[in-house]
Amino acid sequence: MRPLTMRRVVWTCTLLAGVLFAVSVMALKLGAVPISVSDLVVSLGRLAIGRTDQLPLDYRLIVFDLRLPRIVLGALVGAALSVAGAGFQALLRNPLADPYVLGVSSGSALGAVLALQFLPQIALATPLGAFVGAILTITGVYFLGRREGHLDSTTLLLAGIISASFLSAIIMFLMTTLTSRDVRGMAFWLMGDLSTPLVPSLRWFFLVALLVGIGAIYTTSPDLNLLVTGEREAMHLGVDVTRVKLVVYVAASGLTALAVSASGAIGYVGLLVPHAMRFLFGSDYRLLIPASALGGAIAVVLADTLARTIIAPTELPVGAMTAIAGAPLFIFLLRRSMR
Amino acid sequence: MAQISISDSHNAAGGGRERGALASVAAWIAIAALCAAAAPARAAVQADAAPTGLKVTDELGRTIVVPQPVRRIVSLAPNLTETVYALDAGDLLVGDTNVDDFPAAAKTLPHVGAVLAPSLEQIVALHPDLVLATNDLNRRATVDALAGLGLAVYVTDPLSIDDVLASTARIARLIGAGDRGDAAVADMRARLNALAERLADVPPRRVLFVVWTEPLISIGKRTFLNDALNRAGAQSVVEIDDGWPQISFEYALKLQPEYLVFAGSLAEANAPAADELSKLPGWRDLNAVRDGKIVIVSDAIDRPGPRMVDAIEELAHLLHPDAFAPGAPAGGSRLVTPDNREEARTACAR
């Protein structure tokens, strides 16, 4: 393995940021309503000099009120899911771990279903219920996953998987009691859907919380490099294993909770992107975490652009897109890395 | 080997780690700035949309302001598209969904996507003064997103035939067709009253309305469809209040409905020919299947719109042939017997 240099980190991140920018501009241009490149450049130019009021109303609404927030939300959700996935893969020392393996998505889905059932008049019922459900699940799994006062990877994994299936069973039960329109809405949400824009008042909270979560996992990345070789070895090399595990658990779960509350359970991104980044750039977590953040953002923005355009004007849930593209890609990576 | 390279990179860390974090943070801040820059645009749009219009409360209790006169309408549900056409206001429609198929003109309107997942930007690009949606078919998220963009979205939520009539009259007033709306409602009400008079002394048929066969899904009491059945001289045997209950076969067997009723489009998907059902375990034990008392009613009965009265009349004629003079309106509805099941099925598929 090539040693990681700061130059490589900077170059890789710059490259990925460039790709993300290109993908985002493409996503701004593509959509059910055609918008020419020249118009897009003009409107982006006006945006850059702060003259959005000079834009035609259509462009303001379509490009800046519909597409841009959706792209930003997709990028943030993708980054959160990928970093959470990378974190869980290290924490559980399991390559199959993804952000949902510990039951966060089931917990938030249950929260959302309950909120829909009992507080349907509240406008933010789904995201708030989802967030509360996720936080409760995270807390519950944390206490179930401890052994002798410390988080134990195997116990945590088992506790998470059991909690997830238990919560899913409750969801199945509740779904049969929901009215048809709520079931259809829920099904859409469960697949992962970015068509609902984030409420403006929550945008800054969301952004800051995501950056804090990603940053927290990033600070543990040198320790994660050692942790993946084994807990005992890491401890001998001076890693505070208990603290690192706690930080990664809380941060990765928190990121997942935020992502799921905003957009439902978008599958495969958190599993696939860290593996793809490992395949491309090596498994050093100091590079893997920022690369996963950017790679996840690229993946979700790309998938959502396809979801919006592939059978336009009908929109697919982005989760359907990531699952369709994700499974074959995962097999491909697996075959390649086995050679 | 792995150990060594990891501790190597551990030592090389320092600046590289921080630089990487900085680059990543900077990228996100740039994106956040883009997002923030877009925010003032929204405020401006809402100010534009404020000018005088008709302030009404829709059927979900949302207060909306509809610009007057309404010149451009986007309909997000087939029954509302039909309603607008029935009010002679079809020329105001500038967009509908993929599934809007009646009248034929609805098929050629620009489509904004599927009922559940329309393209918001396509709707915006059509510049509607008014967007019509239903609580039953559309997602609340779609409605809220459109309202957030400054569009007037009127959401209907009919739970009974009377609700549909009231809804029709309200939409008519919104789009400046109040007189035509009142006339259409008066006509439908007169026909329903005539039907009620005709069926006054006839005991209602006990029916099982089949929404789906596997699993067996029927309708709840508090639905538009249940009311439609009642007015056609039928009574649903399922004693469950809300929505679309999935019921067990034992329950259906115990209830032994006199008739099974399928709606056209559903029947097509289910192919419930009496002959086939009579071979299936469970189904063949239903008296209605054994006696060939299976009715396929036009799928208009499932659409809270102008054609629902036609479907109700047709169903009433099929269930109570003795109460009417011969030569009853058949429309798209028929009684399925082993002799005509092929014909019936193709009629549904049409």
- Note the residue count of chain A: 339
ipTM of the shown complex: 0.78
In a domain, A228, yes or no: yes
In a domain, A46, yes or no: no
In a domain, A9, yes or no: no
HSE of A290 in the Cβ direction (CA atoms, 13 Å)? 28
In a domain, A256, yes or no: yes
Q: What is the C-alpha separation between A184 and A181, in angstroms, rounded?
A: 5
pLDDT digits (tens, 9 = 90+) for B64-74: 999 988 899 99
Give A307→chain B minimum CA distance, Å: 11
pLDDT digits (tens, 9 = 90+) for A294-336: 999 999 999 999 988 888 788 888 888 888 888 888 888 778 7
Predicted pLDDT of residue A310: 86
Q: Which of A68, A176, A314 sits opposite B117 (nearest CB)?
A: A314
Contacts of A105 (CB under 8 A, 6+ apart): A99, A134, A164, A256, A260, A265
The answer to whether A284 contacts chain B (CB < 8 Å) is yes
Residue for token digits 């807390």? Answer: A139
3-class DSSP state of B74: strand
User: Are A9 and B145 a contacting pair at CB < 8 A?
Assistant: no
pLDDT digits (tens, 9 = 90+) for A231-244: 888 888 888 888 89
The answer to whether A290 contacts chain B (CB < 8 Å) is yes
In a domain, A23, yes or no: no
CATH number of A113's domain? 1.10.3470.10
Please tell me the total count of domains within chain A.
1
The answer to whether A56 contacts chain B (CB < 8 Å) is no
pLDDT digits (tens, 9 = 90+) for B116-172: 888 888 998 899 999 999 988 888 888 988 998 889 999 998 888 999 999 999 999
Partners of B9 on chain A (C-beta within 8 Å) are 3-4, 225, 284, 286
- Positive or negative, the Cα torsion across A129, A134, A137, A138? negative
Q: What is the C-alpha separation between A100 and A107, in angstroms, rounded?
A: 10
Partners of B2 on chain A (C-beta within 8 Å) are 1, 229
Residue A291 pLDDT class (50, 70, 90 cuts): very high
| Residue predicted with more confidence, A73 or A96 | A73
Are A35 and A312 in contact, with CB atoms under 8 Å apart? no
| Residue B3: closest CA among A3, A287, A275 | A3
Tell me which H or E stretch contains B263: strand B259-263
Q: What is the mean pLDDT of residues B108-119?
A: 88
Query: Of the ranges A134-148, A273-287, B258-272, which one carries the lowest mean pLDDT score?
Result: B258-272
Task: State pTM to two decimals.
Answer: 0.78
Print the domain residue range for A153. Answer: 65-197+220-338
pLDDT over 70, % of chain A: 92
Partners of B45 on chain A (C-beta within 8 Å) are 57, 60-61, 65
Are A289 and A86 in contact, with CB atoms under 8 Å apart? yes
In a domain, A275, yes or no: yes
Give B309→chain A minimum CA distance, Å: 24
In a domain, A44, yes or no: no
Q: What is the mean pLDDT of residues B5-34?
A: 42
The answer to whether A195 contacts chain B (CB < 8 Å) is yes
User: Are B121 and A64 a contacting pair at CB < 8 A?
Assistant: no
Domains of chain B in sequence order: 53-184 (3.40.50.1980), 203-349 (3.40.50.1980)
Are B172 and B306 in contact, with CB atoms under 8 Å apart? no
A-B C-beta contacts closer than 8 Å: 203
In a domain, A40, yes or no: no
Q: What is the mean pLDDT of residues B266-277?
A: 58
Is residue B83's pLDDT more than 50?
yes
Partners of B6 on chain A (C-beta within 8 Å) are 225-226, 229, 284
Are A163 and A107 in contact, with CB atoms under 8 Å apart? yes
Q: Best residue in A44, A223, A286 to probe B by mutation, most B CBs within 10 Å?
A: A286
Bridge partners, B96 (sequence order): B111
Predicted pLDDT of residue B337: 56
